[in-house]
Structure 1
Amino acid sequence: MNAPHPAKVAGIDSTVPSPAHTVASTAPSTSPAAPQSATDTADVADDPGTPCAPGALLQDRLAGWVSDLTTLHELTERLVRTDSLAEGLQELLRAGAALVGARRGLVTLEPADGLGPDTTVGLGLARADLGHIETVPRDALPHGRILDGLPVGEGGLAEPDLFAEKGLDPRHREVATRLGYAASYALPLSAESTGSAGSHGVAGSTGNNESTGGTRRLGAAVWLYDEPAEPDERQRHLAGLYTRHAAPHLARLLEVERTRASMATLAEELLPSRLPRVPGVQLAARHRTGPRAGGDWYDALPLPDAALGLAVGSVTGSGPSAVAAMGRLRASLRAYAVMEGEDPVAVLSDLELLLRLTEPARSATALFGYCEPALRRITLAGAGHSPPLLIGQRRTEYVETSVSAPLGMLACWEAPSVEVQAEPGETVLLYTDGLLHRTGDPADRAFARLHAAAAGVPRAARQDPDAVTEHVLRTVLPDGKAEADSEEDVVLLAVRFD
């Protein structure tokens, strides 16, 4: 009597024959994603001389499906915890390598809509290795053929023995020999074209460049084997299931990355495209935008009588609304500076009134200075902003400014201005609070760190305000913190007097 046909279990297709071991036996033992294999009772069932009850075979199949389901659940859980596109692509490569029994791989992101970003990320491959692979003609690579529109079935595209293939591209043979891989397995990455949060991607069904059957191409992934090999039927099935459920998450991370890039571009476009050249001073600026694009800004504009208007500020909040508010505030300040820039208190008073009337739910900090290069003098007024730093050969000190509330927090804002008298060769450094907040230190320690960084500027670098800002930024925020994603924007504006 034949065993009853088993039903599908938790989304695992029961029509795929179950091997003697689950996928764990093919995953590298060093991989943290490698699952434990189920009890091997199928060996008894496969022995023609050993009687086997139908229930034992069914039980073994169920155990294999449960093990596979647990593996997929763990791998997808790890994927959904990634919150950046780079992390998501790396997790996809690691999980896929464990499922198909490979050690290395790469994923090429090339969205079919042409809006980017286009990038290639490797697993176990250095940047130079990826560069070598990119020298191979695109149509000679499995993932290149997928990206060019070659239809791919549910089983993906396998090259089990590259050097046994007739007609292998000479450059591909050379690169494969150089990097030490002999086989590959590739899958397309595609997701629902609607982009809805609850949609499921479809991977492995098509490699077309354009949307097909409601899907759009994101890219292609390929895993490399050190020896001739290819994944078996069940490994292909599990890899296809994983990429199918990974694609929607990657599509969402892609949209987030695009939004971040758009916001960063918008924020940069609202800031000065270049700093003015004014006799008697040299200017330099640094601006780092956080992933959500905040409202930090700076400005430097020529004023009548060979004067110069200097400003830094920060609008509360983040995202498109903060960026738009920052643009409006900066444009208004420029107008007030042209009309009455010689009186910084009047400039900020006008700005406070405008902010209170037009955006009552928002506040901002600002620092405006009327600079007279010929006299090496800056008249400053601040609204809730951190004091600037005066950096010279014989002194490094904070400029004493009056304590005042941010703009928009009082019914009427007004605070006395202060004058900064600089010596030849000295630099006045204006900055936003994001520089201090990114350190993660309490306020007093963050101010001390900034002071120490400014005092430690090498003597030769003090002749160049660009070198001063770069040294301060890298010293206050070491170990890549200046470039890493952060909720805080950073602005530095340096003014060196000749």
Structure 2
Amino acid sequence: MSAQQPPKLAGIEPTSPLPQHTVPPAAAAPRRQPAPSPRPPAVDDPALARPVEQLAAVQDRLAGWISDLTTLHDLTERLVRTDTLESAVREALRAGAALVGARRGLIALEPADGLGPDTTVGLGLGAADLGHIETLPRDSASHARLLDGLPEPGAGSGAGAPGTGEDAGPGGLREITHPHIARDEDLDPRHREVAARLGYAASHAVPLTARSTGRLGAAVWLYDEPARPTERQRHLLGLYVRHAAEHIARQIDLARARLAVDTVREGLLPARLPRVPGVRLAVRHRTGPRGGGDWYDALPLPEGALGLSVGGVTGSGPDAVAAMGRLRASMRAYAVMEGEDPVAVLSDLELLLRLTEPARSATALFGYAERTPPARGGPRAGTRVVLAGAGHCPPLIVGPERTEVVETALSAPLGMLACWEAPSVEVDLAPGETLLLYSDGLLHRTGEPLDRAFARLRAAAVAAAPAVRADPDALLDHLLRTVLPGERDGAGDGAGDGDTGNAENAGNAGDREDVVLLAARF
């Protein structure tokens, strides 16, 4: 902005310039101060204190509801991710303890229909501790009274009384609380004695009831010090227990179905392997979560021979188990009639499968083993095995001096061709050598391509120590630990000569197949 020019008056030039501002400083308007904000209302103002307190209370209540809903959401999400009855019960115990502020507890399952399972699972309690609790008189233990539907002694004093109490929870859920067990004269002396020995001073019990099945069991949480859950804790526990009971009821139904399928399957498979002179037999059988149709068999045949077979039908579930039972029974009959010709046995089995199960296929491996006289000048007799396979994995020979693959003829599974027939292969086993038959589920469970999984199996057999190779049971356990390192040890899956086992896979993959390993050491 240019400076203001002085005015010209009658030819007179001003000698000094005017100031650069248009308004003298003294005449400038004073700066306006911002208006003061309105004074907040005083809390002690009777007219305003009550609405402010009500607003704060509503905000606190909303925050509490949001926190409770978040907690219940997280706990129920953890619960629904459990896929077995035991894991569901343990998760319910852990979540209930967190809700009521306890450290230990137990859930006793006794379904009202009497079909089981009747079991007790503890949190922070060992087997000995649960045994002490089971010695409590049934009319004194809180969970037992809930299971039997008995009234609680001293209930008339109410849940808030110093002694024993019983109350309908916030949602109508029956509860039994012992806030101070040592001072509760209504309790059985044995109850107080066990509580003192195990170091808990209070307990809170609720029933587990599902809409579809009724009573399932009861849960008890134990406090280290005299205590009782608050109203909010009881409310949250009641909401959670309803969801947990429904989930546990579904897991009970699944466990019963699995048990029924397993019982049928075990009835269709040999309870014990036969005892054959000069042969040591061992087997490991692990069923998948869905229950597959794999089988194994060892059948004494005329003239001291032995028939060995491993196979499996496609599919899973009860229908696959039933089909497996029919095929195995038919193979036993064919083996007795013409076992010395394994190709004829599998041909007859293929014809039966194509006529009776046209929509199903199966893999099978059958071997006919017989003693051979000692070679001229040889110290001991050997064993001749004739093998035929239909789409099945080749067996292994594991001995003190060799580990070899028996290259059976490449063939399609049974039921895949209009007429099946493939040549057999004959192998001679020296004394002390083991013939290993297995199902393809062993290779599939590794999660690797079949060629790499088979290479792992062969490498595990090569790496076995001499003492392990001489013991079929030890050899099978070694192979399971090496090929499937992430799964449970096979020590409990049928260890022992002639024993069988059935341990469900503990992994989370629902599509895992059966695993069968059959070893015969001659």
Tell me the TM-score normalised to structure 1 length. 0.81
The Cα of 1:59 is off from its aligned counterpart by: 4.7
Between stretches 125-134 and 75-84, larger displacement belongs to 125-134
Alpha carbons 2:282, 2:473 under 8 Å: kept:
yes
Contact 2:368 2:387 in 1 (8 A): yes
1:170-249 equivalence runs, <5 A: 170-193=189-212, 216-249=214-247
Unaligned runs of 5+ in 1: 1-43, 196-215
Q: 1:354: Cα distance to partner? A: 1.5
Alpha-carbon spacing, 1:97–1:52, altered in 2? closer, same or farther (3 Å): farther
Q: How much has 1:52 moved relative to structure 2?
A: 4.4
- Using the alignment, how far apart are the partners of 1:74 and 1:280 within structure 2? 60
* Correspondence for 1:291 among 289, 295, 299: 289
Contact 2:106 2:220 in 1 (8 A): yes
Residue 191 of structure 1: CA displacement? 0.9
Q: Which moved more, 1:106-115 or 1:222-231?
A: 106-115
- What are the superposed Cα offsets for residues 426-474 of structure 1, whole Å, 9 maximum, x if unpaired? 1111111112222223323322222233234343344432333233223
Q: Match of 1:307?
A: 305
Aligned residues of 1:281 and 1:373 also touching (Cα < 8 A): no
**Residue in 2 that maps onto 1:269:** 267
Q: How does 1:322-333 map to 2 (within 5 A)?
A: 322-333=320-331
Q: Secondary structure at the match of 2:394?
A: coil
Question: Structure 1 counterpart of 2:125, which letter?
Answer: L
Match of 1:472 in 2: 479
Query: Is 2:365 aligned against 1:351?
Result: no
Mapped to 1, the partners of 2:401 and 2:486 lie a distance apart of: 29
Distance in 2, matches of 1:74 and 1:450, equals: 42
Q: Is the 8 A contact 2:369 2:384 kept in 1?
A: yes
Unpaired runs of 5+ residues, structure 2, are 1-42, 152-165, 170-174, 373-381, 490-502
The two structures, once aligned, show a CA RMSD in angstroms of 2.4
Q: Which residue of 2 aligns with 1:51?
A: 50
Q: 1:457 to 1:230 in 2, by over 3 A?
A: same
Q: Measure how far apart 1:410 and its partner are.
A: 1.5
Shift of residue 56, structure 1, vs aligned partner: 4.8
CA contact (8 A) 2:386 2:425 kept: yes
Counterpart position of 2:251: 253
Matched length:
431
| C-alpha deviation, 1:267, in angstroms | 0.8
- Mapped to 1, the partners of 2:371 and 2:518 lie a distance apart of 16
Whole-Å separation in 2 of the counterparts to 1:418 and 1:331: 24
Aligned twin of 1:492 = 517
Q: Looking at CA atoms only, which structure, 1 or 2, has the larger radius of gyration?
A: 2
Q: 1:12 aligns to what?
A: none
Q: Report matched runs for 1:140-159 at 5 Å.
A: 140-151=140-151, 153-155=167-169, 156-159=175-178
Encode CA deviations 1:252-308: one digit per residue, 9 max, x unaligned.
111011111111111111001222222222222221112211001001112222211
Quick one: which amino acid aligns to residue 506 of structure 2?
A: D
Q: CA separation in 2, counterparts of 1:127 and 1:391?
A: 43
Alignment of 1:36-47 (within 5 A): none
Helix, strand or coil for the counterpart of 1:253? helix
| CA-CA distance at 1:365 after TM superposition | 0.7
- Of 171, 185, 189, 1:166 maps to 185
Give the Cα separation in 2 of the matches to 1:110 and 1:463: 47
Q: Is the 8 A contact 1:290 1:485 kept in 2?
A: no
Q: What residue in structure 2 maps to residue 76 of structure 1? A: 76
Tell me which residue corresponds to 1:65. 65
TM-aligned CA distance change 1:179 to 1:458, over 3 Å: farther
- Equivalent position amino acid for 1:470 in 2: D
Q: In the aligned structure 2, how far is the partner of 1:297 from the partner of 1:177?
A: 53
Q: 1:169 to 1:478 in 2, by over 3 A?
A: farther
> What are the superposed Cα offsets for residues 95-149 of structure 1, whole Å, 9 maximum, x if unpaired?
2122211122221222122211222222233344334433444443221222233
2:308 partner SS: strand
2:487 touches 2:506 (CA, 8 Å); kept in 1? no
Relative to structure 1, the CA distance from residue 154 to residue 240 in structure 2 (aligned partners, 3 Å threshold; closer, same or farther) is farther
The letter of the residue matching 1:495 is: A
SS at match of 2:129: helix
Which residue of structure 2 aligns with residue 125 of structure 1?
A: 125
